Structure 1
Amino acid sequence: MAEIDWKPNRDLDISIQVQIIQYIKSKINNGEWTVGTKLPPQRELAALFEVNRSTVVSALEELIADGLLETKIGSGTTVCNTTWNLITKPSPNWHDYVQAGMHEPNVKLIQAINLAEADPSMIRLGTGELAPDLLPSAEISSLLRNADTLPLSYSEPKGSYALRIQLSQYLQKRDINVSPAAILITSGSLQALQLIAGGLLKKGSTVLYESPSYIQSVPVFQSAGINIFGLTKKDTDITQKIRQYMRTNDAALFYANPTFHNPTGRIWDITERQRLLQACQQLSLPIIEDDAYYDLWLDTPPPPPLKAMDTQGTVLYTGSFSKSISPGLRIGWIAGPEPVIDRLADSKMQTDYGASSLSQFAVERWLATDFHSGAIEKTRTALRARRDVVLKLLQENFKDIADWVKPLGGFYIWLRLHQSVPIHTLFEKAIQRGILLNPGQIYERNDTQHLRLSYAYASIDQFEYALKQLAYLIRNMKK
């Protein structure tokens, strides 16, 4: 879909319609909108240009008459030619290339969320990051200002050795004993999954996971030709589900998010963790443990990670400072057996030649000067207060139409509506009111009863307005 970042200038002598025609022609003639590029619907174009729909219709009709656009029922309006094409050899059909790319596109709903998150006026009820006022901007600025020199060269394949030393010591506080040689610095925890998918797994293999899951919202494994299979915890625990699956099928890995699970906020108790690790070791089934939220406990510390109990090298332990320090630093890690880390480090060098040296330096200094312990307690205090207010607002607005469980940490409340709703309709109606939702359908394909709420990003005032509006929409959909 073509992205519109322009509006006509009403102070010009040129008519609005002509300006729109000239804008679209320039996008086509400059090669930004190639053959096959789809334009937004007419109503959406009118809203983006802040004009009457009739003005948009007239402009599009002229461009269609010029042979630059075409409209087909069910397909909308697309670019079908360019001025350059009319006078010389045709340009490459980039539309075909886009369709043929190996990397799977996000589903439409996630693409819409990604675009809407860029709108500063939107109330982002489900965004999985700290609000700007909760980020330690001043502290990180101070660290960089006081540095004698800044590292601006490439780091070694596994990442900054100084950072890996600090990270090794940091993980010991979680009862994880891992040397710097067994740690790889990544550009966030998502890259960790990409490296594992491309560097360790065969095409056609299967990754198991507990459904619903964050992993369903990013096509990282599918793009590498890997299948993913969700196991839903209902009558039996997830360990029994894994054993049942493995009796008749093969799997390459189990993806686990046992601490402040995304999106449900669930936390596995120590017995569940022990049972899972024992089963996977017996089945020779490696585990990816995604532990991005471990530091963000709000009431009591969580049980030790799976990796803390792993004495056989079964667990690849991934984490990130995106949730606890800053998403913009893009610093995460993988901890695991050295041969695996060596392989993934080689893959990373082929991918981006290392994470940002400046970001690695900032995080290394952050850990070495012990900024983290004070800052994380401050973050916990802020999140605890936000969580409690949002729970109160939910009780006031949703007690008769939904239920939820008080999260003990992380960012999320998994709101279960008592009845299914038309998710796409709810999403669009909320957008019209300036409210951006993360529907459960993102995390489990057929889910029409859940919403992921995040108390980490939107302000309390925004939540108060948005939850009242959302409850009103849902009640009217039930009628």
Structure 2
Amino acid sequence: MLSPEEWTLNKSSQTPLHQQIYEYIQSKIMNGEWSIGTRIPAQRDLAKKFQVNRSTIVYALGELTADGLIESKVGKGTIVVNNTWSLLASTPPPDWNSYVKSGSYQPNIQIIQDINKAETNPKIIRLGTGELSPELLPAEKMQQMFQSRSRMFSLGYSEPKGSIHLRELLSEYLKAKGIIASPSSILIVSGGLQALQLISLGLLHRGSTIFLETPSYLNSVHVFQSAGMNLFGIPMDHEGLLTDSLGRFKRQHNGALLYTIPSFHNPTGMLMSSNRRIDLVNVCKKERLPIIEDDVYGDLWFDRSPPAPLKAIDNQGLVLYMGSMSKTVGPGLRIGWIVGPEPVIDRLSDIKMQTDYGSSSLSQFAVAEWLSSGFYDEHIKKIRAELKCRRDFTIDILNAHFKDLASWNIPEGGFYIWLCIHKQIPIRKLFAKALNEGILLNPGNVYVRNDQQHLRLSYCYASLGQLKKGLIRLSELIQELSK
């Protein structure tokens, strides 16, 4: 459903308000921006957006109906039925909505679309957003780096696997994590999502089953589902993903691979123990079940570094390891990497060349400079300290205002606190009420279908003042809905 958020009424104009609204909607339709079949926002939503009486909206829509541009249909609302092409041409234009609905890539569930839309509003308090606050991003340092240009950069395409200089630096960087990976076994990708997309396109068959933790970030994106894959959740405990039933599940559900976030899991913040990591790798070796290890939060530890990645204890090429700079330096860089057996990396790099012809050479240059200059080590220490401070601040607020309402974990790193509300409440209603008051939440049903008791809280984006204001009001809303 479309909304007029990019346009406002001129209330000082001599043109009547209903006429301005009529002309705005008419132009959207006649220019083809609102194609045939597009649903017009509800009258109350339009009245709220334009800040006018509902009668003004009714008058404007009545004129559009009289012109034959829109029509109200029972059960479908008000939709566009004509535009300039269908009024003037004998052959009507294509119904773009039918094309949109027939595309193979599945749309996000409505609540995720609502979250994505609300995140564009700078006035919203974002209590669940999984990215560093703009005030924590090293924009000034990045600008200085480009201005100094200690090494020339290219504006051309990079090699199929990405900049060899960057891959050499990543090879050294990964050694500190216990991962031995030559540059030829590393593929540069445009963030973690592209890595998953390449894997789904290049390594898996339609109908395959992906195992993942329950809950999981992977449920909030449809990259595998859109490629015809099925997701199957594996329970967790305080040490991480439970391994006991993996073999049975693999045989019962034709499991193709396991996706896991062992370090500072999204959305729970869980840190998988060292023993559980060893168990997981051993079980997957026995069952011949490949692993995708998502380690984008691995550098964001507070008091001590996490156990060695699964890839570091993998001696059979079982693990595809994913890393990224999106969570540590800046999401706008869109630079990540996949580490794996060379034949797999060769296959994925070939598909990447078919889809985008390589990741941004400027972003690759920037990441290489950060790693080679020492900027990254300096920056990550500051980010760890800042995130730990924000975590402690958030926990203090929870202790003061949520003690009787919910329980929560205390993460040892990363971005997230998994808040469990004691009473089951209508989570969609809580989301809507909070959003109406300028507070954006990430409900648990984004990560586990039908979850009515959890919220993913993030302390990495909102300012301290926003965290305090937003969380205190959230506690009040939960109390109101619990009565």
Q: Quick check: 1:174 aligned with 2:189?
A: no
The answer to which of 241-250 and 267-276 deviates more is 241-250
The residue correspondences of 1:196-275 to structure 2 (distance < 5 A) are: 196-233=199-236, 238-275=242-279
Unaligned stretches of 5+ residues in structure 1: none
Separation in 1, partners of 2:214, 2:75: 34
Q: Deviations over 1:178-222 (max 9, x none)?
A: 011001101101110000001110011111111100000000001
* Aligned with residue 195 of structure 1, among 195, 198, 209: 198
Answer with 114-123 or 350-359: which moved more.
350-359
Write the distance in 2 (CA, Å) between the matches of 1:343 and 1:449: 42
Provide the residue aligned with 2:134 in structure 1: 132
Letter in 2 for 1:105: P
2:328 is aligned with 1:324: yes
Match of 2:2 in 1: 2
CA contact (8 A) 2:213 2:241 kept: no
Where do residues 408-447 of structure 1 align in structure 2 (5 Å cutoff)? 408-447=412-451
Task: Give how far 1:454 is off.
Answer: 0.4
Helix, strand or coil at the partner of 1:353:
coil
CA shift in 2, pair 1:139/1:234, >3 Å: closer
Structure 2 residue aligned with 1:159: 162
Shift of 1:153: 0.8
Alpha-carbon distance between aligned partners in 2 of 1:459 and 1:278, rounded to the nearest angstrom: 43
Which of 118, 141, 144 in structure 1 is aligned with 2:143?
141
Is 1:114 the equivalent of 2:112? no
Query: What's the counterpart of residue 84 of structure 1?
Result: 85
2:234–2:241 contact (8 Å) kept in structure 1: no
Partner of 1:394: 398
Return the offset for 1:465: 1.0
Deviation at 1:234, TM superposition (A): 5.8
- 1:152 positional shift: 0.9
CA-CA distance at 1:237 after TM superposition:
5.6
SS of the counterpart of 1:59?
A: helix
Contact 1:7–1:50 (CA<8 Å) still a contact in 2?
no
> Aligned equivalents of 2:225 and 2:251: distance in 1?
24
Q: Is the 8 A contact 1:21 1:63 kept in 2?
A: yes
User: For 1:461 and 1:400, how far apart are their aligned partners in 2?
Assistant: 23
Structure 1-normalised TM-score? 0.98
Partner of 1:293: 297
The equivalent residue for 1:64 is 65
Q: Are residue 407 (structure 1) and residue 408 (structure 2) matched?
A: no
Partner of 2:363: 359
Among 189, 193, 197, the alignment partner of 1:186 is 189
Report the secondary structure of 2:196's partner residue.
Answer: helix
Q: How far did residue 145 of structure 1 move?
A: 0.8
Pick aligned residue for 1:96 from 95, 98, 101: 98
Residue 431 of structure 1 and its aligned partner are, at CA, apart by 0.7
Secondary structure at 2:370 match in 1: helix
Identical counterparts, % of pairs: 54
The 4+ residue runs of structure 1 with deviation greater than 6 A are none
8 A contact 2:209–2:253 mirrored in 1:
no
- Of 344, 364, 369, 1:340 maps to 344
Aligned partners of 2:436, 2:166: CA distance in 1, in Å?
Answer: 45
Contact between 2:160 and 2:358, CA under 8 Å: does it hold in 1? yes
Q: Tell me the distance in 2 between the aligned counterparts of 1:73 and 1:115.
A: 28
**Mean CA deviation greater in 11-20 or 210-219:** 11-20
Following superposition, the deviation at residue 29 of structure 1 comes to 1.2
Query: What SS does the corresponding residue of 1:438 show, helix, strand or coil?
Result: coil
Structure 2 equivalent of residue 14 of structure 1: 15
1:43 aligns with 2:47: no
Q: Which amino acid aligns with 2:428?
A: H
The residue identity in structure 2 corresponding to 1:263 is P
Matched, 1:55 2:56: yes
Matched ranges for 1:364-379 at <5 A = 364-379=368-383
Q: What CA deviation, in whole Å up to 9, does each residue of 1:134-181 have, x standing for no partner? A: 001111111111115332111111111111111111111111010110
TM-score w.r.t. length of structure 2: 0.97
Range that drifts further, 145-154 or 180-189: 145-154
SS at match of 1:239: coil
| Deviations, residues 232-259 of structure 1 (Å, cap 9, x unaligned) | 2369962113122124331110001110
- Greater displacement, 62-71 / 334-343: 62-71
Aligned to 1:252, the other structure's residue is in SS state strand
2:255 alignment partner, SS class: coil
3-state SS of 1:413 partner: strand
CA distance in 1, matches of 2:51, 2:229: 44
Contact 2:3 2:46 in 1 (8 A): no
1:72 Cα offset (Å):
2.3
How far off its partner does 1:469 sit?
1.0
Q: Verify the 8 A CA contact 2:259 2:291 in the aligned structure 1.
A: yes
8 Å CA contact retained: 2:118, 2:124? yes
Cα distance in structure 1, aligned partners of 2:355 and 2:296: 22
Aligned counterpart for 1:454 among listed residues 438, 453, 458: 458
* Structure 1 residues 5-57: Cα deviation after superposition (integer angstroms, max 9, x where no partner): 11111232211111111111111111111011122222221222222222112
d(CA) in 2 for partners of 1:433, 1:40? 21
> Does the 8 Å CA contact 1:104/1:223 hold for their aligned counterparts?
yes
Alpha-carbon separation, structure 2, partners of 1:53 and 1:240: 59
What is the distance in 2 between the residues matched to 1:96 and 1:205? 28
Alignment size in residue pairs: 479
The runs of 5 or more residues in structure 2 that have no matched partner are none
How far did residue 391 of structure 1 move? 0.3
